[in-house]
Structure 1
Amino acid sequence: MTLIVRSDSPTPERSTVWLEGRLDAETFASFDETMRDITPLVDNGGTLVLDLSALDYISSAGLRSLAVLRKQMRDRNGRTLLLNPPPQVRKVFEIVKAVPVAEVFASVAELDQYLDHIQKQLTPPRD
């Protein structure tokens, strides 16, 4: 099986990428290459959201790719957030503790609530 990677029109603040299929030893290199084109479009301090709802499988090679991507974003004071992981992918994250639970969201609404909370913490109160 293959991996399909789609992205929205990234903004300097946030970009969403959808993964469909398998992120494994056969597909991780093309994923890494695609992400090398997308991540520079997100400014330092920006957020990269990976929607995993259509990801059927992830191997250790895929985990390595996500770890490298997360490190690249952290090095730029950015965040990588994972959205909608199916149960089998979420279980892999739990087993290997590859991704902090605070960076995995079950739905867009949960992600938006988290982002709203973060922004409220950083926004001074209005008079």
Structure 2
Amino acid sequence: MELTTHIDLDADKSLARVALIGSLNTDTAPGFALRLDEAIAAEMDLTVLDMAELDYISSAGLRVIFKAAKQIKGAERKLAAANRKPHIDKVFEILKALPDIAVFADDSEMDEYLTAMQDQVRDE
């Protein structure tokens, strides 16, 4: 699946809204990283990742988000994720619960687990 990214900059509110539509995976993460870099370069106080239309996220997508979060925090700005679907929210819950623990042998194993968790939540 493809990923479309829309960036909306609101200088009055010092807000960059980055809407993700589709799947953020190994294939789409590099392009998303470039688009997210564009939003970060605008130097808004808050960058919001609008995930209302995000259907899937893999470890490659998470790496892009975590790298951006570190970069934005270093510049004393903020990054937020909004409108997460339940299966996407589950991924963030899992990672929040295990912030410093490596529980997967490799990225492939982690992606399999994340896919299974997202499918399970979607099926409920």
TM-score by length of 2: 0.73
Aligned twin of 1:76 = 75
Q: Does the residue aligned with 2:9 lie in a helix, a strand or coil? A: coil
Question: In structure 2, how many angstroms separate the alpha carbons of the residues matched to 1:42 and 1:86?
Answer: 27
Partner of residue 36, structure 2: 35
Sequence identity percentage: 35
Deviation at 1:57, TM superposition (A): 0.3
Gaps of 5+ in 1: 101-127
Contact 1:11 1:41 in 2 (8 A): no
- Matched to 1:25, the amino acid is T
Paired residue for 2:52? 53
Shift of 1:14: 1.1
Q: CA deviation at 1:32?
A: 0.4
Cα distance in 2 for residues equivalent to 1:37 and 1:17: 10
* Aligned mates of 2:47, 2:94 — CA distance in 1: 23
Q: Partners of 1:60 and 1:10 in 2: how far apart?
A: 30
Structure 2 counterpart SS, 1:70: helix
What residue is the counterpart of 1:3 in the other structure?
Answer: 3
- Residue 73 of structure 1 aligns to a residue in which SS? helix
Q: Which residue identity is paired with 2:24?
A: L
- Distance in 2 (CA, whole Å) between partners of 1:97 and 1:9 is 29
**Alignment TM-score, normalising by the size of structure 1:** 0.71
Instruction: Give runs of ≥4 in structure 1 deviating > 3 Å.
Output: none
Q: What's the CA shift for 1:9? A: 2.9
Gaps of 5+ in 2: 100-124
- Maintained 8 Å contact 2:39/2:47: no
Whether 1:18 aligns to 2:11 is: no
Aligned partner letter, 1:41: A
**What count of residue pairs does the alignment treat as equivalent?**
97
Q: State whether residues 51 and 85 of structure 2, in contact with CA within 8 Å, keep that contact through their aligned partners in structure 1.
A: yes
Computed over aligned residues only, the root mean square deviation of the Cα atoms, in angstroms, reads 1.7
In structure 1, distance between residues paired with 2:61 and 2:32: 9
User: For residues 7-50 of structure 1, what are the alpha-carbon distances to aligned partners after superposition, in whole Å with 9 as ceiling and x for unaligned?
Assistant: 1134272111100101110100000011112211124xx10011
